[in-house]
Amino acid sequence: MDQAAQLRKLTEGNTSLKLVSSTKPMTKIIAIASGKGGVGKSTISVNLAISMAKAGQKVLVFDGDLGLANVNVILGIIPKYNLYHVVKGHKSLKDIIIQAPEGVDIIAGASGYSQLANLNDTQRNNLIKGFGDLDSYDYMIIDTGAGISSNVIGLTLPADDVIVVTTPEPTAITDSYGLIKAIVSQSRDKNLKMVVNRVRSAIEGKKVADRVIDISGQFLEVRVENLGFIFQDDEVEKSIREQKPYIIHSPKSKAAACLNRITYSLLNQEMEAQEDSGIGGFFKKFFNFVDVREKQQSLDDN
């Protein structure tokens, strides 16, 4: 049996992903980030959420790329309301949640409002309270923006897991290391994981991951876990054009098999409970980071 056929077996009925539910009540937060744009981060975020939902998990996707609204575009959804309306006090957070395929819930990015850091105290407190009311989810997946802006780093630091997405392209590899370095400069104890997207072979996927992992260990003294790879697959491109996630559009594709394997790995990992856990606690820590950054910037300017 060839490698692709073995991977496809993981998708048959998706039964291998049916796991015993966790006894940990708080929502687990996974931030998905990339040093470079265009590596497929948003596509992975959406498909991973659906794969988790198919495995029996209750999943919320938060489009942390805010102004670009990638998540709802991938799903072919035009939201009537988004985070902007919550920030302005026109809607509650529960009012703007969109139900996507397989029961995944989506919070669309705040089109025209790209910086959560700019919120005043009232807006922050309303947002924290709103997110705190959403802790019935098993997982929240955050599709962050690309790069190392304050918004991106601020959304990765409070997360239980940070998945860094790269491709075999040299600039993507270099930028993924830059992102890891930026995260580690703020917190050395993050659970960092790597997914290599659009690989032509398993050997290429391992080679790219090992390169970033080895450099990160040598120069940053930090451990990065190789979570897996996703094959270059024409079915992914078709699904993007048709605005239907490939885990649904082509469930027996090579890419879907790879993603199911990644899902299985994530769902079988125990995460330690953190202080101020859950979605509300996540955003408390995000705004704490923003405040510290602003104070540092003020000191630097003076």
Residue 147 annotated as lining a ligand binding site: no
Sheet holding 192-199, edge to edge: 98-99, 105-107, 59-63, 139-146, 28-34, 161-166, 192-199, 224-231
Tokens of 246: 């490939």
Residues 127, 280: Cα–Cα separation, whole Å? 8
Exposed e or buried b for every residue in 220-259, given b needs 16+ CB within 10 A? Answer: bebebebbbbbbbbebbeebbeeebbbbbbbbebbbbbbb
Residue 136 annotated as lining a ligand binding site: no
Residues 164/179, Cβ–Cβ less than 8 Å: yes
For 277, other C-beta atoms within 10 Å of its C-beta total: 21
Question: Could you tell me which residues come within 8 angstroms of residue 8 by beta carbon, excluding any fewer than 6 positions away?
Answer: 252, 253, 254, 257
Residue 43 annotated as lining a ligand binding site: yes
Residues 180, 190: Cα–Cα separation, whole Å? 10
Question: Could you tell me which residues come within 8 angstroms of residue 299 by beta carbon, excluding any fewer than 6 positions away?
Answer: none
Residue 112 annotated as lining a ligand binding site: no
Residues 137, 29: Cα–Cα separation, whole Å? 10
End-to-end CA distance of the chain: 65
Residues 289, 276: Cα–Cα separation, whole Å? 14
Amino acid letter, 189: D
Residue 35 annotated as lining a ligand binding site: no
Residue 145 annotated as lining a ligand binding site: no
Going by C-alpha positions, the residue among 43, 214, 11 that lies closest to residue 141 is 43
Residues 141/62, Cβ–Cβ less than 8 Å: yes
| Binding site per annotation, positions for ATP | 36-43
> What residues are designated binding site?
36-43
